Amino acid sequence: MNAKFFDLKKEKQDRMINAALKVFALNGYRHATTDDIVREAAISKGLLFHYFGNKLGVYTFVYDYSVRYLVLELKSTVDDVETDFFEIMKQIERGRMHAMRGYPYMQLFLTRSASEDVSEALLSTEEMRNTLQECYDAIYRQIDTGKLPDKVQADKLSKMLELTVKGLMAERFQSGSFQPEMLYDEIEEYVNMLKQLVQ
C-alpha cells in the first residue's frame, strides 16, 4: 500500500479511489487512461503520478485497496458459525453492499478485473486475487451442503446467484439507478425465491 497517499485528506483519497474504480470498472485496464481518471477525480495528472507513478501503479493500488476493504467487510458481516447456504449468500451480498456504500464501483471493478487479459495487470494483482479467493473459499466451506435437497448442488446454486447479481448490478449501472441498499433488497428477493424453489 502507498503510505504517502494516506496522508491526504480522506475526501481526496476517496475521490481518487472512486475515480480510478469507475474508470477501470467501465473500461478495463487496457482501455482506461490516466487522463480519464484525473478528469473524473478533478485532480492534476502530476498529483496522480506523484502518488502512483503510472497507470499500473493506480490499478495495483485500487485493486489491493478494494480486496483489503471487501475482505474486512465480509469478515465483519458473514457470521462464522452460519452454515445455511442461503443465509450465507445474503450475508456475502450484505458485506458487498456495505463496501459499495462508500465505493459504488468497487464490486464492478473486482468483477471486471477477474476477466482482465493484460498480463501486467494480472501479475500485479495476483497475490491479492488469491487473498480474495481464499476469503470466499473460507466462507463457502462453512456451508452445510447436507441441508440442501438431494441433487441440488451448492456450486451450481452459487453460480446462478453470482450471474444474477452481476446482471442486476450491470442493469442498475446502465440505467443510472444504482443504490447499494436497493440492489441488496432486490438480490435478497432472488435468494429467497431460489430458496423456495429448491426446498
Q: Summarize pLDDT for 49-94 with one digit per residue, the tens.
A: 999 999 999 999 999 999 999 999 999 999 999 999 999 999 999 9
In angstroms, the CA 162 to CA 140 distance is 13
Q: How far apart are CA 124 and CA 24, in angstroms?
A: 15
Global pTM value: 0.92
CA–CA distance, 39 with 22 (Å, rounded to integer) = 12
The enclosing H or E element of 128 equals helix 119-141
pLDDT tens track for 134-151 = 999 999 999 998 888 887
For the chain, domains (ranges, CATH) are 8-198 (1.10.357.10)
Separation of CA 40 from chain center: 20
Q: Given the C-alpha cell 447456504, which residue does it identify?
A: 85
Question: Average pLDDT, stretch 99-113?
Answer: 95
